[in-house]
A and B are shown apart, each in its own frame.
Chain A
Amino acid sequence: MSQYDVINSRATRIDSQDKATGRAVFIDDMKMPGMLYGAILQSPLAHAEILSIDTSAAKKLPGVKAAVTSQEAGLIKYGVSPARYDETIFCYDKVRHVGDNIAAVAATDLETAMAALSLIKVEYREMPAVFTVEEAMSDGAPILHEEYPRNICAEVHQEFGDVETAFKECDLIKTTSFVNKRQDAAFIEPQGCIADYDLSGTLTLYSSTQVPHYVQRTLAMVLKLPVGKVRVVKPYVGAGFGIKAAANHIELAACLLSMKTGRPVKMNFDREQVFLHGRARHQFFHTMTTGVKKDGTLMALKHECYLNGGAYSSFGIATVYYAGSLLGGPYRLPNMKYDGYRIYTNLPACGAQRGHGGVAARACWEQQLDMIAEELGMDPIDLRLKNMMVAGDVTCNDLNMSSLGMKECIEAVKEGSDWKNKKGRLPKGKGIGMACGFFVSGAGYPIYRSDTYHGTAVIKLTEDGGTALVYTASAEIGQGSDTAFAMIAAEALGIPLECVRLESGDTDFGVDLGAYSSRQTLMTGHAVKEAAESVKLQVLEVLSRELKIPVYDMDIKKGVIVFKKEKPDFSGLRTRYIKEHRGWTDNPAPEEDLSFREASRIAYLAKGSIVGTGKYKPPELGGKFKGATVGTSPAYGCSAQVVELSVDMETGQIAIEKMTDAHDCGRAINRTSVEGQMEGSVSMGIGEALYEEVKFDDKGRVINADLAEYKIPTALDMPHVETIIVESNEPNGPFGAKEVGEGAIMPTIPAILNAVYDAVGLRIFELPLTSERVWTAMKIRAKG
């Protein structure tokens, strides 16, 4: 039996009935009176100087209300990280990738807007373009951004301990390289927005975003409006996975067009634009050298990584840091050296996607650890357990594992998969493999340097008592955060979940950094819990005065007031309550306990509206070295997975047959949602491992910008996933909770790589593991 009344259960999500019936409102389901439709003109070329832009014919087309370029938009630079603001709303000097933004129009309907785009004349002078890391870094290569020679957008050089000295003490040193492919997040709802600049000069943007707060700041900065005049509201969002975690071009363009026309403007991406502007997973080129002792003790890791970043920085600086820093754990690793380079190329920009920066690195290293285990004659699980950190350990790069159920996760999947009887014992063509991983529960620092709270919450009790209204600016994007916060509020306040109503995703409700880096459960959760506790205390304080009982001798549980000592005579309060509700049929009977509803009404009568606030920011985290902030977090979630698969020896086709997945989420607020994150992570990992690759032609155009040619897993591709929740009770989390949304993807790809080796005896160092790639590898080996 759980010690909790609300959390740690399988409560039905508070939004699921609306979603099951089609009632839930997403951005394209919204319409406003007088609304215009906007469209953007994109570059057909990968790299070209803009000689002239002529919008005059477009402006004359009947129905067109505005056409804007950099002339109207101005040249204020923005981006994700203030250290690399390298974008403007529209290009002015040159275009840097196919799809780069040149102009936008607003018209009375979408057809007219599209027709207007075709009337805009742009003269270009085409320039040589670079598409690969090698091309971009070669001598004499064309430069995308003048300030960044050799097209190096960002570089990282870190060393913890002394890697070369440690290598001298090693019995085995192993070097491998690994490359993934650019992935697309392939959420099913394309981005969209409606901007409404009203007569009072307030700009409201409704948008399918993960981060209302950052979008609000970007709009204010670029459009030169006070933050208080910019409101960002998020309706239901059809998932984001990191890609909707920064302001995008249509958000900015729609706002500009609304300010120009004085009318609401709607803009949507189509599916091809999701590929062009969705800043998803980078391509990473990793080379890792790991040294170990004979007994398997990990001694040192030397790591070099190049990222093909595309034309702009987006999240890239954080990405290149994460690619290194997230190897600091979960194994004890005393010495680590990392050199990372993010390179500008004339492709659409890459950014952050589920498992930000760490997924390919984890795949490379966990495969290498298996190779090392084999050479040492150790079971790969034993090698991992031998080096595993425990709660309280700090990595060489100063990440503090305040809780770590990694060992429990490994044991759970070992048991759950019957590893002992399968590893090395399956017939040819069948394989089993495992891997581990971990991830932050929220970035330790905001994206812009600031002492801001990372989350605030307000809870107000309805004046009639009985219902708690929870307001946060956090972003429900499908992961279930609204339900988690309603549950946290109900638990902390001591009332049933049905007595909580919740609104979120609106910058008017406070500050919340939003849904990225798996932060909300821990950070927003803390703020909500604090607000609920404040409200509870206020109610109990009034009762304390009325009944002359110390606050600490009372509690609220399951919606009734608990008197820890003798039950007082509260009939006076009850009479007052009932007097105010003459004719009501649900008034309490004399023998009933004093209800929360009565108590909160009495509290209102004494004090006015009962409002509680909560806030959260992490303590100062991390070391003092350059980039020490990236990778810090108040807590780390972790997981282990075992995969069983078969490889068709004729065709090289891989079929995933079973996954056993254990994740330490600290404390599960909603068990069903935790499993949902685990299962969803596994499916995204399987997609990246087996099929997914955004492909370009030699002009830098995406050639598979649709969900037919860019294949993601269907129901037929997914195996049964055995999910095991491990609960380590994180000291820094609300009720002990920490992340699950991203750590759960970390082991999937390397577990598959290791299982493929178990099945066919081949190590493959490039994704995706298409049947062609596996077949070719088998063919080459057969030839010797």
Chain B
Amino acid sequence: MKKLISLTVNGKSYQIATEPNQTLADLLRYELGLFGTKKGCEMGDCGSCTVIMDGKPVNSCLVLAMQANRRSITTIEGLESEKGLHPLQQAFAEKGAIQCGFCSSGMILSAKHLLDKNPKPNEAEIRSAISGNLCRCTGYQKIVEAVKGVRG
């Protein structure tokens, strides 16, 4: 049985009917067309589906859409502003922190959450903050450098 939920995504509010077994990742991707949220494993292991829910990063493949009822979600699409790319997005692009790009959305959101609560993280704190986001391409070094370049 579908149930109506309301949620805010990237500052825009939605009312949407969802199946009880639909994940937030699938709702974002296939119902709202926000394909920037990726699915690498659908088991909570890779972090490619990371979004920020009420200020906390979550693996959206492990969150049921129903659990997002009355919550506020930020996806990668929500980071850009009229001024252009978010500084983290710009830094990732310029510093070579992106190769295949499949991990990048989740990685950038985890980094954003870190900088929101700790604007001057040291390297260990950066590595720890993105340790739930797997990247098989970069060896993480340029990702860490990109975050360092943005910190206050």
- Do A and B share a complex? yes
In the bound complex, CA of A672 to CA of B142 (Å): 9
A480 within 8 A of B: yes
In the bound complex, CA of A366 to CA of B73 (Å): 51
> In the complex the two chains form, is A676's CB within 8 Å of B99's CB?
yes
> In the complex the two chains form, is B139's CB within 8 Å of A188's CB?
no
B128 within 8 A of A: yes
> In the complex the two chains form, is A672's CB within 8 Å of B96's CB?
yes
A21-B80, A22-B37 are contacts. A239–B143 as well, Cβ < 8 Å?
no
Return A32 CB to nearest CB of chain B, in Å.
Answer: 14
> In the complex the two chains form, is B142's CB within 8 Å of A15's CB?
no
The residue from A18, A185, A480, A713 contacting B99, defined by CB atoms under 8 A apart: A480
> In the complex the two chains form, is A188's CB within 8 Å of B134's CB?
yes
- Of A10, A12, A16, A673, chain B has the most CB atoms within 10 Å of the CB of A16
B11-48 interface code vs A (CB 8 A; 1 in, 0 out): 00000000000000000010000111111111111101
> In the complex the two chains form, is B43's CB within 8 Å of A15's CB?
no
B60 within 8 A of A: no
A239-B102, A672-B95 are contacts. A714–B43 as well, Cβ < 8 Å?
no
Residues in A203-239 with C-beta less than 8 Å from chain B: 236-239
A739 within 8 A of B: no
Residues in A1-50 with C-beta less than 8 Å from chain B: 10, 12-13, 15-26, 28-29
A677-705 interface code vs B (CB 8 A; 1 in, 0 out): 00111111000000000000000000000
A22-B76, A676-B142 are contacts. A16–B134 as well, Cβ < 8 Å?
no
Q: A16: nearest residue on chain B (CB-CB)?
A: B93
Return B90 CB to nearest CB of chain A, in Å.
Answer: 7
B133-148 interface code vs A (CB 8 A; 1 in, 0 out): 1111111111110000
The residue from B36, B44, B93, B138 contacting A679, defined by CB atoms under 8 A apart: B138
The residue from A20, A480, A708, A721 contacting B108, defined by CB atoms under 8 A apart: A20
B5 within 8 A of A: no
**A20 / chain B contacts, CB cutoff of 8 Å:** 85, 89-90, 92-93, 98, 101, 104, 108
> In the complex the two chains form, is B141's CB within 8 Å of A718's CB?
yes
Interface range for A: 35 or more
Q: A22: nearest residue on chain B (CB-CB)?
A: B36
> In the complex the two chains form, is B139's CB within 8 Å of A718's CB?
yes
A17-B93, A20-B90 are contacts. A186–B136 as well, Cβ < 8 Å?
yes
B103 within 8 A of A: yes
In the bound complex, CA of A15 to CA of B139 (Å): 19
> In the complex the two chains form, is B130's CB within 8 Å of A715's CB?
yes
In the bound complex, CA of A720 to CA of B46 (Å): 22
- Of A26, A185, A236, chain B has the most CB atoms within 10 Å of the CB of A26
A20-B98, A238-B102, A708-B43 are contacts. A718–B140 as well, Cβ < 8 Å?
yes
B68-94 interface code vs A (CB 8 A; 1 in, 0 out): 000000011101100001000110111
The residue from B44, B80, B85, B136 contacting A188, defined by CB atoms under 8 A apart: B136
> In the complex the two chains form, is B35's CB within 8 Å of A22's CB?
yes
**B89 / chain A contacts, CB cutoff of 8 Å:** 17, 20-21
A665 within 8 A of B: no
**A707 / chain B contacts, CB cutoff of 8 Å:** 40-41, 43, 45-46, 134
> In the complex the two chains form, is B40's CB within 8 Å of A271's CB?
yes
Q: B30: nearest residue on chain A (CB-CB)?
A: A31
The residue from A21, A238, A477, A721 contacting B79, defined by CB atoms under 8 A apart: A21
The residue from B39, B77, B134 contacting A22, defined by CB atoms under 8 A apart: B77
Return A690 CB to nearest CB of chain B, in Å.
Answer: 14
Where chain A touches its partner, the secondary structure class is loop
**B143 / chain A contacts, CB cutoff of 8 Å:** 715
In the bound complex, CA of A651 to CA of B128 (Å): 23
A20-B85, A22-B35, A706-B43 are contacts. A189–B90 as well, Cβ < 8 Å?
no
B127 within 8 A of A: yes
The residue from A238, A680, A713, A718 contacting B101, defined by CB atoms under 8 A apart: A238
> In the complex the two chains form, is B100's CB within 8 Å of A12's CB?
no
A241 within 8 A of B: yes
- Of A21, A26, A684, A708, chain B has the most CB atoms within 10 Å of the CB of A21
A245 within 8 A of B: no
In the bound complex, CA of A318 to CA of B35 (Å): 38
In the bound complex, CA of A679 to CA of B138 (Å): 6
Return B70 CB to nearest CB of chain A, in Å.
Answer: 24
**B133 / chain A contacts, CB cutoff of 8 Å:** 715
**A16 / chain B contacts, CB cutoff of 8 Å:** 92-94, 98, 101
Return A752 CB to nearest CB of chain B, in Å.
Answer: 15
**A24 / chain B contacts, CB cutoff of 8 Å:** 101
> In the complex the two chains form, is B102's CB within 8 Å of A13's CB?
no
**A199 / chain B contacts, CB cutoff of 8 Å:** none
B131 within 8 A of A: yes
In the bound complex, CA of A186 to CA of B48 (Å): 13
In the bound complex, CA of A189 to CA of B141 (Å): 20
A250-279 interface code vs B (CB 8 A; 1 in, 0 out): 000000000000000000001100000000
> In the complex the two chains form, is A716's CB within 8 Å of B93's CB?
no
In the bound complex, CA of A477 to CA of B95 (Å): 18
Return A459 CB to nearest CB of chain B, in Å.
Answer: 25
**A18 / chain B contacts, CB cutoff of 8 Å:** 101
In the bound complex, CA of A713 to CA of B141 (Å): 12
A271-B40, A721-B139 are contacts. A479–B134 as well, Cβ < 8 Å?
no
> In the complex the two chains form, is A679's CB within 8 Å of B101's CB?
no
**B90 / chain A contacts, CB cutoff of 8 Å:** 20
A675 within 8 A of B: yes
> In the complex the two chains form, is B77's CB within 8 Å of A21's CB?
yes
A775 within 8 A of B: no
A444 within 8 A of B: no
**B101 / chain A contacts, CB cutoff of 8 Å:** 15-16, 18-20, 24, 236, 238, 478
> In the complex the two chains form, is B140's CB within 8 Å of A683's CB?
yes
In the bound complex, CA of A554 to CA of B35 (Å): 49
> In the complex the two chains form, is A239's CB within 8 Å of B141's CB?
no
> In the complex the two chains form, is A239's CB within 8 Å of B96's CB?
no
A188-B46, A270-B42 are contacts. A680–B104 as well, Cβ < 8 Å?
no
- Of B42, B77, B141, chain A has the most CB atoms within 10 Å of the CB of B141
A712 within 8 A of B: yes
**A514 / chain B contacts, CB cutoff of 8 Å:** none
> In the complex the two chains form, is A236's CB within 8 Å of B100's CB?
yes
Can you list 7 contacts pairing A with B, beta carbon distance less than 8 Å?
A20-B108, A679-B139, A683-B140, A707-B41, A713-B139, A716-B128, A721-B141
Closest 6 CB pairs of A and B: A22-B36, A478-B100, A19-B101, A238-B102, A683-B139, A679-B139
With A716-B127, A718-B139 given, can you name 15 additional A-B contacts, CB distance below 8 Å? A12-B94, A16-B93, A17-B89, A20-B108, A26-B38, A188-B46, A188-B135, A238-B102, A239-B136, A271-B45, A675-B96, A712-B136, A713-B139, A714-B134, A715-B130
